[in-house]
Amino acid sequence: MKGLIIQHWQVIRLTFQRLMHTPIASLLNILVIGIALSLPMGGYVLLKNLQSVAGQVAGPPQISVFLALDTSQAEIDRISKQLKEHAAVDRIEFVPRDLALKQLQQSTGLEDVVGGLARNPLPDAFIVYPVAMDVQKLELLRDDLKSWPHFEHVQLDSSWARKLESILRFGRLAVGILAAMLSFALIAITFNTIRLQILTRREEIEVSKLIGATNGFIRRPFLYYGFLQGLLGGIAAWLIIALSLALLNYSLVGLAQLYGSSFSLSHLSFGDSLTLLVFSAYLGWLGAWLSVSQHLWQIEPR
């Protein structure tokens, strides 16, 4: 086991040396991979920030529940308790009918007309703040509340949520298509790089096979090369995204102050960063594996 670990470590060290042996070509390949990966990941970050900004501008989603006029105080207390215990409800606000009438007077300016009413025509109401932001889950909660007794009318303003969901769905599709296309391009870059290395080291590979080296032993340094090149490309992409967000946040400071806000673009989370590095390393390994699988068998000792 120890000998196997030493062999792998020696291969990794040799791979780094080969990367450093052609620094300009290696740096250019890593930058190409980093720029290509930063485009879809940058779009993903912007979509996440767009969703956050839209939620702040539009406010949290809410469902207005209007009670029947004959609902007693005991029934109101019971309904309030049930709403607070509902798994899909984050919090609630109770709006008594008298307060609703005062708010109507202040918002419409019709104090004389409203004051001349024989009785308050407005019902008691609850404002329900759901846990989920998803349109389908909001509508499911609305339909569930409609079946409750003493609920005269349940209203959900989901038009803004539908528009936001449509924009985000389109953005995710565009980012996904871009990521797929660039992933194939990165595999092709690694494939061609490894192919050139195999052709350059053809005589060395032939000698290795003559002295009994297995295909797995010969394949190993090429796979490590593709893996490390992809990993370094992922690190480059992470740095490009971080630098771009820092520059954008610097420009956003003045704009946010004009609107009395402290908004800033958030960076990739730890989980997203780890996914980026793992995915980039895998693309490099896959490109190397495909290239070695196609070209290594063609080289046999003469």
Q: For the domain that residue 76 is a member of, what is the CATH number?
A: 3.30.70.3040
**One domain for residues 49 and 194:** yes
**One domain for residues 49 and 170:** yes
pLDDT for the residue 177: 92
Distance (Å, whole) CA 140 – CA 292 = 53
**One domain for residues 67 and 53:** no
Of 3-7, 28-32, 114-118, 291-295, least confident by mean pLDDT is 114-118
Contact call for residues 91 and 130 (beta carbons, < 8 A): no
Residue bearing the bigger pLDDT, 301 or 290? 290
Q: How far is CA 195 from the centre of its chain?
A: 34
Token pair of 132 as six digits? 């989920």
**One domain for residues 152 and 207:** no
**One domain for residues 30 and 78:** no
pLDDT for the residue 247: 87
Which of 157, 191, 223 terminates a domain? The answer is 157
Does the pLDDT of residue 159 top 60, yes or no? Answer: yes
**One domain for residues 188 and 133:** no
The band of 238, judged by pLDDT with boundaries at 50, 70 and 90, is very high
Among residues 129, 135, 133, 131, the alpha carbon closest in space to that of 162 is found at 135
208 C-beta neighbours (distance < 10 Å), count: 17
Token pair of 162 as six digits? 């539908």
Q: How many folded domains does the chain comprise?
A: 2
Does the pLDDT of residue 5 top 70, yes or no? Answer: no
**One domain for residues 172 and 252:** yes
Does the pLDDT of residue 250 top 90, yes or no? Answer: no
Give all strands of the β-sheet with 89-95 in edge-to-edge order: 89-95, 125-130, 63-67, 151-156
Does the pLDDT of residue 42 top 80, yes or no? Answer: yes
Token pair of 134 as six digits? 């998803």
Signed CA dihedral, 24, 27, 32, 35: sign only: negative
Among residues 168, 172, 200, 144, the alpha carbon closest in space to that of 25 is found at 200
Does the pLDDT of residue 131 top 90, yes or no? Answer: no
CA dihedral 288, 289, 295, 300 (to 10 degrees): 120
Residue bearing the bigger pLDDT, 51 or 276? 276
Among residues 63, 48, 64, the alpha carbon closest in space to that of 131 is found at 63
**One domain for residues 134 and 256:** no
Token pair of 139 as six digits? 């509508």
Distances (CA, A) of 253 to 42, 44, 183, 187, 259: 20, 22, 34, 39, 10
**One domain for residues 100 and 178:** no
pLDDT for the residue 232: 92
**One domain for residues 276 and 222:** yes
Q: Within 13 A of 48's CA, how many CA atoms are on the CB side? A: 14
pLDDT for the residue 213: 63
**One domain for residues 177 and 230:** yes
Among residues 229, 200, 235, the alpha carbon closest in space to that of 20 is found at 229
Does the pLDDT of residue 37 top 70, yes or no? Answer: yes
Q: Which residues pair with 66 in a beta bridge?
A: 125, 153
Of 109-118, 153-162, 201-210, 246-255, least confident by mean pLDDT is 109-118
Does the pLDDT of residue 235 top 90, yes or no? Answer: yes
Average pLDDT over residues 188-192: 88
Token pair of 105 as six digits? 């007077």
Residue with tokens 């740096």: 27
Among residues 46, 88, 50, the alpha carbon closest in space to that of 164 is found at 50
pLDDT for the residue 165: 75
pTM beyond 0.75: the answer is no
Average pLDDT over residues 17-38: 84
Q: 110: domain range?
A: 62-157
**One domain for residues 145 and 282:** no
Does the pLDDT of residue 58 top 70, yes or no? Answer: no
